[in-house]
Amino acid sequence: QKEVEQDPGPLSVPEGAIVSLNCTYSNSAFQYFMWYRQYSRKGPELLMYTYSSGNKEDGRFTAQVDKSSKYISLFIRDSQPSDSATYLCATGAAGNNRKLIWGLGTSLAVNP
């Protein structure tokens, strides 16, 4: 079993839909959680970062962490065609700043 599981999709939604992307993790030592977006032929870019349970909102994006069930989610409201990309979750333990454990990514297509 991988330490971080993420449904690879692909996920296809109409423009304006609410998108829910999810990851589960197995190591309770993981303390920080991140969501990256990766466009084709580009490197990942950080979207959201949180280290506590609960919700964190940034514009149309909301990251949710439930440490009790080891479940992390990213919600995208009013999705746009420009949101079409692969979304990667990543997590890690304190003291291992660069040794993030990554999900395989979920491919999202938002159709106009």
Q: Site for another protein (CB under 8 A): which residue of 45, 58, 66, 78?
A: 45
Q: From the CB of residue 6, how many other CB atoms can be counted at a distance below 10 Å?
A: 21
Q: Site for another protein (CB under 8 A): which residue of 102, 106, 108, 110?
A: 102
Q: Which is nearer to another protein, 49 or 61 (CB)?
A: 49
CA distance 1 to 80: 34
Q: Which is nearer to another protein, 47 or 79 (CB)?
A: 47
Q: Is 29 in the site for another protein (CB under 8 A)?
A: no
Q: Which is nearer to another protein, 29 or 46 (CB)?
A: 46
User: Within a 13 Å sphere around the CA of 93, how many CA atoms are in the beta-carbon half?
Assistant: 7
Say if CB 54 and CB 67 are below 8 A apart.
no
Q: Is 34 in the site for another protein (CB under 8 A)?
A: yes
Is residue 79 classed exposed, middle or buried when 0-12, 13-18 and 19+ CB atoms within 10 A define those classes?
buried
Summarize as ranges the residues that interact with another protein (CB under 8 A): 32, 34, 41-46, 49, 88, 90, 92, 96-100, 102-105
